[in-house]
């Protein structure tokens, strides 16, 4: 990033990595900084969506399972398992499926 300070992709990647690692406040700050520089940067808006919402990953995993795309299903189920809070009633769903 220091070598290419005008390149937008590096800060975007850093913000996504923060979100992936669970450092949500740093991710949110990164996406907001990108939007201050370029308010039409749609990907940054997507990054500001609620990153802890596990339900889309559960639903996508189920759909991919029904489509017999097991690799994609497992990726989504892994994200679901990582995001679902401990003790949440949805936690047992994968035991049933």
Q: What is the pLDDT of residue 64?
A: 93
Instruction: Specify the higher pLDDT residue, 87 or 1.
Output: 87
pLDDT at residue 90 is higher than 60: yes
Q: Do residue 63 and residue 38 come from a single domain?
A: no
pLDDT at residue 93 is higher than 80: no
Q: Do residue 38 and residue 64 come from a single domain?
A: no
pLDDT at residue 67 is higher than 60: yes
Q: Which helix (H) or strand (E) holds 23?
A: none
Domains in the chain: how many in total?
A: 2
Q: What is the pLDDT of residue 45?
A: 80
Q: Do residue 42 and residue 63 come from a single domain?
A: no
Q: What is the pLDDT of residue 8?
A: 74
The mean pLDDT value of the chain amounts to 83
Q: How many CB atoms lie within 10 A of CB 60?
A: 17
> Residue 1: inside a domain, yes or no?
no
Q: Tell me how far apart the alpha carbons of residues 94 and 20 are, in angstroms, rounded to a whole number.
A: 22
Q: Which of 69, 50, 47 is nearest to 60 (CA)?
A: 69
Q: What is the pLDDT of residue 5?
A: 60
Q: Which residue has the tokens 């029904």?
A: 66
Q: What is the pLDDT of residue 82?
A: 85
8 neighbors 34 (Cβ within 8 angstroms): yes
Q: Which of 82, 83, 63, 85 is nearest to 72 (CA)?
A: 63
pLDDT at residue 34 is higher than 70: yes
Q: What is the pLDDT of residue 33?
A: 93
Residue 71 sits in which domain range?
Answer: 55-96
* The pair of three-digit structure tokens given for residue 35, joined into one six-digit string: 């939007």
């Amino acid at each position: 990033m220091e070598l290419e300070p005008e390149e937008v992709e590096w800060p975007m990647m850093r913000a996504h990595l923060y979100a992936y690692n669970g450092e949500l406040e740093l991710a949110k700050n990164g996406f907001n900084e990108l939007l201050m520089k370029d308010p039409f940067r749609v990907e940054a808006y997507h990054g500001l969506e609620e990153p802890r919402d596990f339900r889309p990953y559960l639903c996508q995993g189920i759909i991919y399972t029904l489509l017999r795309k097991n690799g994609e299903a497992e990726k989504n189920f892994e994200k679901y398992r990582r995001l679902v809070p401990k003790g949440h009633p949805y936690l047992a769903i994968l035991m049933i499926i």
